[in-house]
Amino acid sequence: MKPGIKEMKIYTYPDPVLKTQAGPVKVIDEELQDLIDDMIHVMYSAPGVGLAANQVGVLKRVIVFDRHPREKGRDPTVLINPEIVLGEDEIKSEEACLSVIDFSAEVVRSSRVKVQGLDRHGNSLDIEAEDLLAICLQHEIDHLDGTLFIDHISSLKRALYKKKLRKMLKET
């Protein structure tokens, strides 16, 4: 049975699927198109600016993003097997994630990146991005490698978040 949109949920930390490296997409078939459509739907429903397949429990190297998920004229971009081929300069910004509930923190990343991948039809797609889009791309590609933004903060801050989360989970 194909997973329908209704069954798709966003996995949250500390689910192990978020700590697992996703494998490269080898075939672009109907199943993959369904996954992409479902991911776009989930991203807009959240709403979020980006989503990686790990976050819906699928270990395939696929990300979707849209800088303006709330606006009319939404324009989602799909990247299959994305790779950061260049990253330069630094930018520090507050990040959050649909998979890390009730938390945000400052993360340092490259302020300019060049990313290569494939679009949903298998054509090469190279993206040069800066600032917010560069941050989004690094954040989503991190997900495919089993890395969350909280892996980029100090171990003390991460420990405090884990404690807070344990408390929250106990209360629900």
Q: Which residues are catalytic?
A: 140
Cα dist. 142→4, 6, 7, 55, 150 in Å? 26, 26, 25, 12, 11
87-146 residues in contact with Ni ion (CB under 5 A) are 97
| Residue with the CB atom nearest Ni ion in the bound state | 97
Contacts of residue 108, Cβ cutoff 8 Å, sequence gap at least 6: 90, 91, 92, 152
Nearer to Ni ion, 35 or 141 (CB): 141
Contacts of residue 89, Cβ cutoff 8 Å, sequence gap at least 6: 110, 111, 112
Using alpha carbons only, give the angle 53, 38, 129 rounded to the nearest 5 degrees.
55
Under the criterion CB under 5 A, does residue 22 sit at the interface with Ni ion? no
DSSP 8-state secondary structure symbol assigned to residue 78: E
Nearer to Ni ion, 97 or 153 (CB): 97
Nearer to Ni ion, 31 or 104 (CB): 104
CB of 140 to Ni ion, least distance (A): 7
CB of 148 to Ni ion, least distance (A): 7
CB of 97 to Ni ion, least distance (A): 3
CB of 96 to Ni ion, least distance (A): 8
| Interface with Ni ion: number of residues (CB under 5 A) | 1
Q: Do 84 and 141 meet the contact criterion of CB atoms below 8 Å apart?
A: yes
- CA-nearest of 146, 52, 137 to 86 is 137
Point out which residues bind Ni ion (CB under 5 A). 97
